[in-house]
Structure 1
Amino acid sequence: MRKENSTNALNKKHIIDTCGMAVALRVIGGRWKPAILCRLVYGTMRYNELKKSIEGISERMLVAQLRELEQDGIVRRIVYAEVPPRVEYEITELGHTMQPMLNAMADWGSMHRDLNEQKLTGAVTEV
């Protein structure tokens, strides 16, 4: 755990306090959050459905990422009082406001991937 008054902690706080992009990247950043959000944008999913749809993610990491998204108000966890217990996850209203940004990021990522593939094949065209 970092000290709250360390140079790194103060720099991080300053960046987050002054840059909206830094806040957005903190909320959606990481290896697995984009994959989780890409699936939940299309509708509510049960925990096991979500886990099976994201190849390579561990249970521990999925739980941690979902908790972070829940704390940030992006994802809602719904627990049904049934036996056996059923848990579902869905995007909140705040999470849905991210959709244009996520779509723009997906479009940019696809364009960037295509450009890199063209470079590898030698068929580069200007954008």
Structure 2
Amino acid sequence: MKKYLIIMIIGLSILLYSCTIKNMDEKYDDASYITSNHYRTVYVGTIETINKVSFRSFSGNDLIDTIYSGHSVTITIDREITEGRFKIVMVKSNDEITELKNGTFDYYANEGTVRIIIIGDQAKGWYKIIIE
């Protein structure tokens, strides 16, 4: 009985994981998905340190940080993705999406909040984001 239950749980987990992966192919560039406040994430083989996250597989979207109106920050981004698709975006309160590249830049949030979000589709690699 226990073996049957364990096999069912593993099978259900694999099924749910594969459904998430399949749907991400369609949602990766979907603006309404990126700007939504709903975060769905599947990490596999994750190692997290203070500023760096490594993963064997990442699919979904995940909120990294929120910058509030009137705040000035310095953002440093570094990443190396060896498989799949992965991007880091800034979403303003008016749903304007800006993809962030590797490097350091200053940002001032003059109106509303700004969210820093990662989006992946079967991505493998690591990223580092420092917001000061």
For normalisation by structure 2, the TM-score amounts to: 0.30
Higher helix share: 1
Q: Which structure has the bigger radius of gyration? A: 1
Relative to its length, the structure with more strand (as a share) is: 2
